Amino acid sequence: MSGSDKQPRIERRQFLKGAAAAGPALAAASLVSPQAAQAAQTPAGAAAPATMAVREQHPPGTGQPLAPGYVVGGDHMTDCLRALDIEYVASCPGSTFRGFQESIINYGGNKKPEFLTALHEDSSVHFAMGYAKITGKPMAAMIHGVVGVQHASMAIYNAFGDQVPVYIIAGNLLSEWGRRPGAEAAHSSTDQAQMVRDYIKWDEQPTTLRDFSNAAARCYEAAVSGAPGPVMLTADADMQEEAIHEDHKADLRLPKIGRRIPASADSGTVQELATMLCNAENPVLSLDRYGNNDKSIPLMVELAEALQAPVIDTRGRMNFPNRHPLNVSDIGGPYLRNADVVLAVEPRDLFGMVMALDDEDVRTPRPRIGQNTKVVRLGISHTSQKPNYGGSQRYAPADLDIQADAQGTMPALIEAVKRMAKPNFAARGERIANQTKNLLERAKAEAAYGWDASPISTARLCAEIWDQIKNEEYTVPTETNFLSSWPQRLWVMDKYYNFLGRSGGWGVGYNSAAAIGAALANKPHGRVTVALAGDGDFMMAPGVIWTAAHHQIPILFVIHNNRGYHQETMHLQRMANRRNRAVTTADIGTTIKDPNMDFAMMAKSMGVYSEGPVSNPVDLRPAIQRALAVVKRGEPAVLDIVAQPR
Amino acid sequence: MQKSLFLALAGVTGIAVTATAWAQNAPGGNAANGKMLFEHVGCYQCHGFAGQGGAAGPKLVPALEFEPFALQLRMPRQLMPPYSPQALSDQQVADIHAFVKSLPGPVNRANVPLLQ
Ligand SMILES: Cc1ncc(C[n+]2csc(CCOP(=O)(O)OP(=O)(O)O)c2C)c(N)n1
Ligand SMILES: [Mg+2]
C-alpha cells in the first residue's frame, strides 16, 4: 500500500463492488486504465489508485498482463529481504507465496536473495540453521500456508531450542473473499503462527503492504537479538499479488537494521565475578551456547589462561580448543565435584550442567557439583525460554545470575581477572595440564581396539577422515555423540566453525539437512564440510543431498550406517531386560535392514557422486580420497560407511 | 535404581545366589555360540561387535574373569541393563564369556601410522 495519504487505495471490496456494478466492461477497462476503474466508483477528479488487488484485476483465465506502470507487492517484499541482507531463501514451493517467489526470481533476478530448492519444509529450516551457525546471519525459509508450517514445525523447534536465528516466511490467504475452494482454502489460516508460537521468538502477519516492512524488520530484530531464534513472518498472498503504481512504490519504506551491541555486565558486576573467580581455589568454566563467532574462542582461551582454570566444553557449540591443556571436557567429573565456583557460560539448561539423572528405573538426581559449590550463570541463553516445552529441564537456581551476553562481557572480565591474578594460578594450570596431556594418547590407544573390525569402528572412520582433512579448514556440522565423540578426541578442533553443536530440540533429521546449509555458508570460504550423519537421520530427509547437487554445494557427506535407529535399539533392550522378558527382540521396529538400504544408489539417483556400502576398513582410505576429490571440484559426495553402532 | 532396593530384589530373585554358585564351578563356554548370543541379546549394542566399547559402554577386552563377568551381567554395577537367568542361562553366559575372551586385543599401533 502506498505510504501517501493523498492517494487513497481502492479497498478491495469497494473495488469489487464497483466492478460488479459496472459489469465486465469495467474490469477490462481497469486493466488499461486504473483511473477508469477509480472514476467509476469515486467522485470525479479523485486521484489515481495506489494499489489494486491483482486477483480481481485479472480473474483466472483472462490472461491479462499487469497494467503498465504497475509493480506488485512481491517486488516490495523482495526489496525488504534485500534490505535485511538475506542471501538465500530455502523453500519447497507453494502457491500461497507464488507472488513473492516470482518477484524474487524475476524482479530480484534471483540474487540476494537466491532461491534454494528444498524437498521438504523441515529441510528448509534446517538448512537455515546450519547456515546461520556459520554466518551468524538468518537465512529465510519460505514455507507454504498451513501445511508448510506443519511440516517445518519440528525444525523450528530445533532452531528455537538451539537458539539459531531463522527467518521463516509463510504464505497465507488471509481474506476468504478470493480463496478458491480446495487447496487454497485448506492452506489458509487466520493465525497459523499459533501452531508454532510456543517455540518461535516472534511472529507477524501484516495486513497491508505499508505494514510489511515494519513487520519484516521487527521479525528480523527478534531473530538476531538477545538469545537468537526462529521467527515467522506471514506474507499474505493477496498482498504479494497486489498491484502498486510505480509512482507510489517509493512510499513503501524499507526495513532498516542498525548495529547491535549486546548487553555486557556493568563494571561492578564484572569486578565481583572476577573476585569470586580469583579467590576460588578450584574454579571451573563450563561452556554451552557460547562459541558463535571467530572472537569467541580466543576470548575464552584468554580468560581460562588468565585463571589457569579447567574448562568443560559441553559441546552445545564449539567453545574451546579440544587440545588445549586446560580442556577437561572428557574428564570433567572430578573437577566439577571439587569446584568451589562454577562459571556456567551461556547455559541453555543450568540443571543439566550441575545435575545428572541416570536412566534407571528409580531416578534420583545426582549432583555433579559439590555441596558448597557456588554457581554463577553468565549469559542470556536461557532468556528466550518459554513455558510448555521441556527444553529448560528442571529449574535450577544460580547463586549469582549475571544476565549479560557472555562474549560481550569477556573483555572486561579478562582484564579484571588479569589484574587480580595470583602467582599460585600457574601451579593449578600445571596440575591440570598434567591430567590432560595424555588424553590424545589415551584416545589413540582406545581407537586401537576394533581397529580392523567390520563393520568399521567409529574410531577408525573418524581417524581415516581426519588424516585426509587435517590440513584443511573444515566444519563438522553434525552431532558427534553417536560416533562416541571421536572427532573431539582425535582431531584438532579450535575454530568456532570446526563443530556446530547439536540440534537443539533433539529432533532427528537435523544433522543431514543442517549440514547442507553449513556447507553452503562455507562455500565462499573454501572450507571442507564433513557431515557425519546417521542413517536414520539421513532417511528423515534424504532429498537434502539433491539440493546440494542442484546448487553445487560441496560437502563430504558420510553416512554412519549402523543399519538402524540404534539409540532406540538400546532403549528397547533396556526395557526388555528391566522387565525380564525376551532380550532378543530389540531390533523389532528399531533397525533399518532386511532389506538393507543402498545409500550409494540413492545418492546416484539424485545426481550425487557416491560410494558404498563400505564395510571393509581398508577400503576407507581410497574411498575418502576419491570423495574428497569430488568435493574439491565443488560438488557433494556421499559415502555409505557400514559402521559400528557407536 | 537405588542400590539397596536392587540388592533386596536380587535376593528375592535369587540372582545373588546364582552368582555365588558360579564362583565355585564356572561352566566351560562355546565361543561360536557366544558370538551368536553376543549379537542376539544385544551386547554389541553398547560394547560394539568387537567388544571395543564406545559412548554406550566400556570395552570388554581384555575380558574379565568369569566370575566378575557373570556378576556384571546379573547385577550390573551401574547403567548396564541386567540379564537375569531367565533371559540368559548360566551356560549362555559362559558361552558369551568364551566369545569375549576370544576377541582380539588392540591392533599393534606400531604398524598403524594413524595411531602414532
Ligand atoms: C523426529 C524424531 N523422531 C524420533 C526420535 C527418536 N530418536 C532418537 S535417536 C534416533 C535414532 C536416529 O537414527 P540414526 O541417526 O541412524 O542414529 P543411530 O542412533 O542409529 O546412531 C531416534 C529415532 C527423535 N529424536 N526425533
Ligand atoms: Mg543409525
Query: How close is the Cα of A6 to the center of ligand 2, in Å?
Result: 64
In Å, how far is B46's CA from the nearest CA of chain A? 7
Q: Does any domain span residue A64?
A: no
CATH for A528: 3.40.50.970
Q: Does any domain span residue A290?
A: yes
Distance (Å, rounded) from C-alpha A567 to C-alpha A25? 68
- A327 and A191 both lie in a single domain: no
Which residue in A486, A577, A618 has the most chain B C-beta atoms within 10 A of its own C-beta, making it the best mutation to test that interface?
Answer: A577
- A140 and A49 both lie in a single domain: no
A90 vs A87, A225, A528, CA distance in Å?
10, 22, 21
Q: Does any domain span residue A257?
A: no
Task: Give the pLDDT of residue A64.
Answer: 76
Query: How close is the Cα of A561 to the center of ligand 2, in Å?
Result: 6
- A126 and A189 both lie in a single domain: yes
Q: Which residues line ligand 1 (CB under 6 A)?
A: A 154, 482, 506-509, 534-537, 562, 564-568
Q: Does the pLDDT value for residue A7 go beyond 60?
A: no
Distance (Å, rounded) from C-alpha A439 to C-alpha A3? 65
- A34 and A134 both lie in a single domain: no
Contact A155, A514 (CB under 8 A): no
Task: Among A394, A422, A437, identify where a domain stops.
Answer: A437
- A147 and A201 both lie in a single domain: yes
Q: How many CA atoms are closer than 13 Å to the CA of A258, on its beta-carbon side? A: 3
Point out the least confidently predicted range of A35-49, A427-441, A546-560: A35-49
Give the residue numbers spanning the domain of A47: 12-57
Q: Does the pLDDT value for residue A602 go beyond 80?
A: yes
- A379 and A503 both lie in a single domain: no
Distance (Å, rounded) from C-alpha A479 to C-alpha A262? 28
Task: Give the pLDDT of residue A250.
Answer: 83
A583 touches chain B (CB under 8 A): yes
- A35 and A101 both lie in a single domain: no
Q: What ligand 1 atom has the least distance to the C-alpha of A537?
A: 15
Q: Does any domain span residue A514?
A: yes
The amino acid sitting at A136 is: G
Query: How close is the Cα of A534 to the center of ligand 2, in Å?
Result: 5
CATH for A299: 3.40.50.1220
- A432 and A450 both lie in a single domain: no
Contact A499, A487 (CB under 8 A): yes
**Residues in A touching B49 (Cβ below 8 Å):** 450, 453, 455, 644
The amino acid sitting at A617 is: P
Contact A72, A99 (CB under 8 A): yes
Give residue-wise pLDDT tens across range A213-248. Answer: 999 999 999 999 999 999 999 999 999 999 999 898
Q: How many CA atoms are closer than 13 Å to the CA of B42, on its beta-carbon side? A: 30
- A187 and A312 both lie in a single domain: no
Task: Give the pLDDT of residue B69.
Answer: 98
A588 touches chain B (CB under 8 A): no
- A489 and A635 both lie in a single domain: yes
Q: Does any domain span residue A258?
A: no
The answer for B 8-37 residues in CB contact with A (under 8 A) is none
- Ligand 1 pocket check: which of A153, A162, A461, A565 to mutate, most ligand atoms within 8 Å of Cβ? A565
Q: Does any domain span residue A138?
A: yes
Domain count, chain A: 4
CB-neighbour burial class of residue A72 (10 A; exposed 0-12, middle 13-18, buried 19+): buried
- pLDDT class of A483 with cuts at 50, 70, 90: very high
Task: Among A401, A417, A437, identify where a domain stops.
Answer: A437
Taken in order of first residue, the domains within chain B and their CATH numbers are 27-106 (1.10.760.10)
> How many Cβ atoms from other residues are within 10 Å of residue A372's Cβ?
7
Q: Does the pLDDT value for residue A133 go beyond 70?
A: yes
Query: How close is the Cα of B56 to the center of ligand 1, in Å?
Result: 15
- A167 and A83 both lie in a single domain: yes
Give residue-wise pLDDT tens across range A93-121. Answer: 999 999 999 999 999 999 999 999 999 99
Distance (Å, rounded) from C-alpha B56 to C-alpha A461? 18
A621 touches chain B (CB under 8 A): no
Please judge whether B46 and A646 are an interchain contact, meaning their C-beta atoms are less than 8 angstroms apart: yes
Task: Give the pLDDT of residue A628.
Answer: 98
Please judge whether B54 and A361 are an interchain contact, meaning their C-beta atoms are less than 8 angstroms apart: no
Interface A:B, Cβ pairs < 8 A: 113
Task: Among A218, A251, A284, identify where a domain stops.
Answer: A251
So what's the ipTM on this one? 0.88
- pLDDT class of A530 with cuts at 50, 70, 90: very high
- A29 and A111 both lie in a single domain: no
Residue A597: DSSP 8-state: P
Please judge whether B106 and A449 are an interchain contact, meaning their C-beta atoms are less than 8 angstroms apart: yes
Q: Does any domain span residue A262?
A: no
Mean predicted confidence (pLDDT) in A5-24: 37
Q: Does any domain span residue A154?
A: yes
